[in-house]
Amino acid sequence: MSLTKRGGDLNMKEKQELQVTDVFTKSRIFTYLWIVFCPPYGLYRVLSPSSEFRRPEKWVWTMIVICTLVTFVKLIITG
Amino acid sequence: MHKIWGNAKRFNVNTVYTVEMEEKMKDKLMNGMLSAAGAMQTQRHLAAIKNAFMSLLPIIIIGSFCTLFSNVICNTTPGFFSLANIPGLSFLGKLNPMFTAANYGTMNFIAIGCVILIAMELGEHYGITDKALPVVALGAYISLCAFTASGKAADGTEVVVTNVLSRVYTNAQGLFVGMFASIAATEIYCRLVKSGKLEIHMPDGVPSNVARSFTILFPSLITVVIISAVGMIFEMVTGMTLFNAITAFIQKPLSHILTSFPGYITLIFITTVLWTFGIHGTQVTKAVYEPILLAAFAENEAAYAAGTAIPNIISTPFMSCFSTVTGAGITGGLIIAIMLFSKREDYKAIAKLALPCALFNINEPLTFGLPIVMNPVLAIPFMISPAVSATFAYAMTKIGFCGRMVVNAPWTTPPGLMAFLCSGGNIGAAVTQIICILLAFVVYIPFVLISNKQQVLTEE
């Protein structure tokens, strides 16, 4: 196989991988801000059918929002 | 220059042979590099780890910014430099629980997120998208953790609490074992499900989702039991938990190597060498260094939040601030060198185009435009300047001029501002980062001058 083709294959494989630009799109950045300032709406944006989040990410963000909310309530209760 | 030498050599038969040999050697070297990089990039476990860490990146950035906000904006501790301590802005202190909660929910559950993401990414590679898979992987990981935690009570006595999961297992300290446990659990689960031998066949009238839960019942059970049994047998034989053993004998030595100065320099050298062959060096080596440098960063971040001494110099933000600022190879220095010393119109045009991108640490226009890739003249300073910069920044941090990195800013943050944010507002760090770009500029000057001569010779 020629070097050019092999290099091209490698670049194709790299493109199939998740890139930084994929996780920092405009819509996603807004969702991240909502998760900090209003976690329930942030979670709604993560789980909505039009969301850009991939299946594994939906799982992890759900877990994180739940943990954040529990900690937030605990902090308010305990002062 | 290479082309000119090549033409000169073609004057006799012996040198033609030499040129052919040289070409063959170059092809062999390229083939070897491409094979190694391809193997690393397509290896399913490494690819799953890389994707998982890419998904974790926003979580880490949110967590670290929340630490910064809760310390610099909302901290109401008397005598602490914070906006909330300025008269009239004390209401900012009321926002502290929000940032503290977001920080806790993100930074303290990285290992759990990592286990889930790796399991799902690897499962998708095998074509298995069962919702049970991440739960099984998490169960397998938890089975390796101890359920007691010890600490000191207010009166100084040692207290042991049972039936709790220490945060050691859920934060960045648990990343390494979490990765192994998740990969092992996913491999076992996928193989068992794919074999189909453990399926429980239900009658036709049973709904498909109920039938599916019975199909995966035994693979799930066996996976968790195998991992748990391995952990138990290991503890019985050695007297220490598998988690502690992996942490002590694999994670810590590896961490010492990568967060030590020589280990770090070797890592960035390998990364830039791969770049000069047109291979995305950072992507290829990421799966190896990311968990270690991230754990080092998490230790720094936790120490910063607790107000104690910051333990590590080298961590993820250190790499972004001082080894890849303005792009891999610190090509911001090259842009300045070209603008001031280059006589080549093509270089100047590309440098002008690349300048706005370099302000956001993107250097593809230069690496592929000049190009730096497969260009022996520019490849040398491209490999040297990150090492010089890292050495300087390490020395400045060691003497206390540059603050240690406690916040993970997005990699596209402009130079100067990035180091300022990452160090939690240290001016010395911003100055050090700017000096690093100037050092890279000095490294690139002779090679830009060589490329000028190269152009003159080619024209002649």
Position B150: which residue type? S
A31-41 per-residue burial string, b: 16 or more CB within 10 A, e: under 16: bbebbbeebee
- Reported as a single tens digit per residue, the pLDDT across A7-54 is 555 555 555 567 777 888 889 999 999 998 899 999 999 999 999 999
* Residue whose tokens read 């943050």: B413
What is the residue extent of each domain of chain A?
Answer: 20-78
Instruction: Specify whether B187 is located in the same domain as B290.
Output: no
B27 touches A: beta carbon within 8 Å: yes
Cα–Cα dist B265/B385, whole Å: 11
Position B312: which residue type? N
Residues of A in contact with B102 (CB under 8 A): 35-36, 39, 68
Instruction: Specify whether B318 is located in the same domain as B227.
Output: no
Chain B contact probe: residue of A21, A55, A66, A68 with most B CBs at under 10 A: A68
Instruction: Specify whether B240 is located in the same domain as B288.
Output: no
Instruction: Specify whether B333 is located in the same domain as B294.
Output: yes
Instruction: Specify whether B242 is located in the same domain as B331.
Output: no
Phi, psi of B159 (to 5 degrees): -120, 135
Chain A contact probe: residue of B46, B51, B64, B283 with most A CBs at under 10 A: B51
Q: Do B120 and A59 touch (CB under 8 A)?
A: yes
B411 touches A: beta carbon within 8 Å: yes
Residues of A in contact with B125 (CB under 8 A): none
Instruction: Specify whether B247 is located in the same domain as B342.
Output: no
Two structure tokens written together for B235: 């503890």
- Does B41 reside within a domain? no
A23 touches B: beta carbon within 8 Å: yes
For residue B425, what are the domain limits?
A: 266-459
Please count the structural domains in chain B: 2
Rg (CA), chain A: 18
Q: Which of B426, B416, B439 is nearest to B321 (CA)?
A: B416
* Min Cα–Cα distance to chain A from B283, Å: 8
**What was the pLDDT predicted at B67?**
80
B224-244 per-residue burial string, b: 16 or more CB within 10 A, e: under 16: bebbeebbeebbeeeeebbbb
Two structure tokens written together for B336: 């300045």
Residues of B in contact with A39 (CB under 8 A): 102
DSSP state letters, chain A:
--HHHHHHHHHHHHHHS--HHHHS-HHHHHHHHHHHH-HHHHHHHHHSTT----HHHHHHHHHHHHHHHHHHHHHHHH-
* Residue whose tokens read 């993970």: B408
**What was the pLDDT predicted at A12?**
53
Instruction: Specify whether B306 is located in the same domain as B432.
Output: yes
Q: Do B34 and A7 touch (CB under 8 A)?
A: yes
Instruction: Specify whether B227 is located in the same domain as B284.
Output: no
Q: Do A71 and B104 touch (CB under 8 A)?
A: yes
**What was the pLDDT predicted at B241?**
86
Cα–Cα dist B88/B86, whole Å: 6
B404 touches A: beta carbon within 8 Å: no
CA dihedral B291, B294, B298, B304 (to 10 degrees): 160
Alpha helix locations (H) across B400-426? Answer: 417-422
pLDDT, tens digit only, all 460 positions of chain B: 444 444 444 445 455 556 676 667 667 766 776 676 667 667 888 888 888 888 888 888 888 888 878 877 887 777 666 778 787 888 888 888 888 888 888 888 889 999 999 999 999 999 988 889 999 999 999 999 888 887 777 777 888 888 888 888 888 888 888 999 999 999 999 999 988 887 777 777 777 777 777 888 889 999 999 999 999 999 899 888 888 888 888 888 888 888 889 999 998 988 888 888 777 777 778 777 888 888 888 888 888 888 888 999 999 899 989 998 988 889 999 999 999 999 888 888 888 888 888 888 888 778 877 888 778 888 889 999 999 999 999 999 999 999 999 888 877 788 999 999 899 889 999 999 999 999 999 999 999 998 888 888 877 7
Cα–Cα dist B12/A13, whole Å: 43
Q: Which of B392, B333, B407, B390 is nearest to B363 (CA)?
A: B333
